[in-house]
């Protein structure tokens, strides 16, 4: 079975979490999507790149989520979410590209 890169999982968690929250009008449900993708990514980051890298990337994931809120006030919700998701994907790829 092919493994999905954590860059895609993490970015999808940010985009999917927002999409679910917006379209269902249930923010906690979007949080479940966000948390599930984050937990899956963190576990893989730990296995591939080690504890320090996993902690750093997990902190970046949480910061991306939090940072999307003030950014959305400046550029709009979807551009903010896609921007932080892209940044998170880039960070994940940069840390794990040569290790997995």
pLDDT 10s digits, 22-64:
999 999 999 999 999 999 999 999 999 999 999 999 999 999 9
Instruction: Judge contact between 6 and 96, C-beta under 8 A.
Output: yes
Rounded CA-CA distance 28/30 in Å is 5
pLDDT 10s digits, 57-94:
999 999 999 999 999 999 999 999 999 999 999 999 99
Instruction: Judge contact between 80 and 17, C-beta under 8 A.
Output: no
Pull the structure tokens for residue 42: 């963190």
Confidence of residue 99 (pLDDT cuts 50, 70, 90): low
The distance between the two most distant Cα atoms of the chain, rounded to a whole number of Å, is 41
Rounded CA-CA distance 9/29 in Å is 17
Instruction: State pTM to two decimals.
Output: 0.92
- For the chain, the structural domain boundaries read 7-95
Instruction: Judge contact between 41 and 65, C-beta under 8 A.
Output: no
């Amino acid at each position: 079975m092919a493994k999905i890169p954590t860059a895609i999982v993490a970015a999808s968690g940010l985009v999917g979490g927002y999409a679910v929250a917006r379209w269902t009008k249930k923010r906690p449900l979007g949080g479940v999507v966000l948390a599930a993708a984050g937990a899956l990514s963190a576990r893989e980051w730990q296995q591939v790149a080690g504890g320090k890298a996993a902690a750093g990337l997990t902190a970046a994931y949480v910061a991306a989520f939090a940072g999307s809120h003030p950014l959305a006030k400046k550029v709009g919700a979807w551009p903010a979410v896609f921007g932080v998701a892209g940044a998170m994907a880039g960070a994940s790829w940069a840390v794990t590209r040569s290790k997995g």
